[in-house]
Structure 1
Amino acid sequence: MKSIKRNFIRTILSRLKANFLSIYNSRGSTHEIALGAAIGAFWGVFPTFGLSTVLSLLLYKIFRFNLPAALSAAFISNPLTSPFLLMISYHVGTLFIPTDFKFEYETWYQNISKIGYVMFIGATIVSAMTALLIYFIVKYAVENRRKKNLA
């Protein structure tokens, strides 16, 4: 059982590394790459449950960002991070909408009618903050890499 968990974690980490490298090596302006990564990260953190690719494709038609960066960054949400992101979203939501309901990861979806609005507000804030942070990190990293490659 431990080897299965280790292999699962290695697989997730190798995917994250590959996604990061694909963002890092993308073509386009640093703004397009960073915007794509930010939009992908937004949908990855927001509880879209597998619709991040479709939503990124729809937004691509409007904003013209780096699509491979968006699709790669959407994998910020995965089986290891999803429980954490859902709990953080709920707790941030309770800062704006007080509730006496206790969040439990195992049963949250059964109580979505009681916590849905709280989670929506929290997820919007957490996703936006994550996207903003990702934008500046990716823009800085890509600019630095390009400067080093030119030197």
Structure 2
Amino acid sequence: MLHKYIRRLKYYILRTLRMQNSDHRIALGFAVGFFPCWYPTFGIDLLLAPLLARMVRANIPSAFLAASAGSVLWPILFYLNYRIGVFVHLFTTFPKTFEIEDALSVPVPETDYRIETNHFGRLGDMGVNFLVGALINSILSTLILYILLRILLSFYRRPLLHKIKKSVRRGKSKS
């Protein structure tokens, strides 16, 4: 069963590498296809990726391939969004300056055992941190993926094509 899926994946990679599109369009399609995976789109990213690729005139199959990969990686992507958002929040907020005399002269407050609902306000901070992280991660990943794939395709497209062809031929001869 796993062999079947690996063979199918090789087939789609082989089809993508054989396309007559330029390296620019394939790399742009993959980068733009991965863009909506950083946001909580609840499965619509597989529909958004080809639409975004069509808007920027990129390769639609590579956009769909990237969106498929992103739909598997979403827990990791969402965790990275939150962590980057918290980092940016901590980096951009500055603590208040205080004097030690002020801290010593403040009386100790009485303990009051009322239930506070302030913890619901922190949920809004989590959402803001998540969206800030998603915005930063989606822009950076789009740029990095485009540059890396453009370089990889321009230098290694033909060797990858021959290597995958050989492995597919070996798979056919074994069966």
Q: TM-score range by the shorter chain?
A: 0.5 to 0.7
TM superposition score normalised by structure 2: 0.59
The equivalent position to 1:145 in structure 2, one of 156, 163, 166, is: 156
> Considering only CA atoms, is the larger Rg found in Structure 1 or Structure 2?
2
Cα distance, 1:123–1:26 mapped onto 2, change above 3 Å = farther
The normalised TM-score by structure 1 is 0.67
Q: Identity rate of aligned residues, in percent?
A: 30
Contact 2:30/2:65 (<8 A) preserved:
yes
Aligned positions, number:
127
Q: For residue 117 of structure 1, report the CA deviation from its aligned partner.
A: 1.9
SS at match of 1:77: helix
Q: From the superposition, tell whether residues 134 and 17 of structure 1 become closer, same or farther in structure 2 (CA, over 3 Å).
A: farther
Q: Structure 1 unaligned segments of length 5 or more: list them.
A: 1-6, 99-110
Give the aligned partner of residue 83 of structure 1: 75
* Partner SS, residue 97 of structure 1: helix
Residue 88 of structure 1: how far off its partner (Å) = 0.8
Task: Report if the CA contact (8 A) 2:30-2:146 is conserved.
Answer: yes
In 2, Cα distance between the equivalents of 1:19 and 1:134? 19
Q: CA RMSD in A?
A: 3.0
Structure 2 runs not aligned, ≥5 long: 91-121, 162-175
Contact 1:22/1:69 (8 A) holds in 2:
no
> In structure 1, what is the Cα distance between the partners aligned to 2:13 and 2:37?
14
